[in-house]
A and B are shown apart, each in its own frame.
Chain A
Amino acid sequence: DAGITQSPRHKVTETGTPVTLRCHQTENHRYMYWYRQDPGHGLRLIHYSYGVKDTDKGEVSDGYSVSRSKTEDFLLTLESATSSQTSVYFCAISESAGRVTEAFFGQGTRLTVV
């Protein structure tokens, strides 16, 4: 498996609190993605990064922010958690040195907002 680790693996938090999820990779891949997975919706892209300090929005970015200060770390922050953000969050990485390549996923983080 590619060296990609998500933390925490499980988290329960209260509505209105800030939450940060971390994705750490040891592959030196350029591209990193955050997805959320909900029944009936598949994997929906929240934000992605194409380099250090280079990020862009995905299809469901409202209520989320990201930061990438180092190649190996991509942080996802829920500024003020809501119950609608209860989900399983997956980080993915890929490298595209001139051609499109496979994306590898982390183990996922199950977040519950109560």
Chain B
Amino acid sequence: GENVEQHPSTLSVQEGDSAVIKCTYSDSASNYFPWYKQELGKRPQLIIDIRSNVGEKKDQRIAVTLNKTAKHFSLHITETQPEDSAVYFCALKGMDSSYKLIFGSGTRLLVRP
């Protein structure tokens, strides 16, 4: 079945630096790869997603890249700000009819002022 591994589990960067979080998966049939941000005590919220027919997508300071051959996708945050501090989750959905949405274990990002 689907499985997704997320690294690193914690990441600390200086304000203004870039942050990269990577996820690898096993099911080559996966076709949808969203990223969620969860602030302390809040619900997860979608920040960006990518579909399998696209290699890269960008939205202001965040971008996601997908390498289907190597089965990994990454979140890139540039010019980090303290408000980017949160837990970030990658996820994926498979091609089968179940429409299960499977999440990685999360990355706690701390942006130091």
Contacts and interface: CB of A to CB of B under 8 A. Distances in A.
Interface of A: 31, 33, 35, 40-45, 48, 50, 56, 58-59, 90, 92, 94, 96, 100, 102-103, 105-108
Contacts of B99: 31, 48, 50, 94, 96, 100
Nearest to B1: A59
Interface in B47-89: 49, 51, 89
Given A42-B89, A56-B98, A102 B46 contact: yes
B34 A50 contact: no
A45 B101 contact: yes
A107 to B, nearest CB: 6
B103 A35 contact: yes
A103 B35 CA distance: 11
Given A48-B100, A102-B34, 10 more contacts: A40-B105, A41-B105, A42-B6, A43-B103, A50-B99, A56-B100, A58-B100, A90-B44, A102-B46, A103-B46
Main secondary structure of the interface of A (DSSP, over half): strand
The 8 closest A-B pairs by CB, nearest first: A42-B105, A43-B103, A100-B32, A105-B43, A42-B106, A102-B46, A42-B103, A105-B44
B35 to A, nearest CB: 11
Contacts, number: 57
Contact of A45 (B34, B102, B105): B102
Given A41-B105, A42-B6, A100 B31 contact: yes
B68 to A, nearest CB: 15
B6 A103 contact: no
Nearest to B4: A42
Nearest to B51: A100
18 contacts: A33-B101, A40-B9, A40-B105, A42-B106, A43-B44, A43-B103, A45-B100, A45-B102, A50-B98, A56-B98, A58-B100, A59-B1, A92-B101, A94-B99, A100-B31, A100-B51, A100-B93, A102-B46
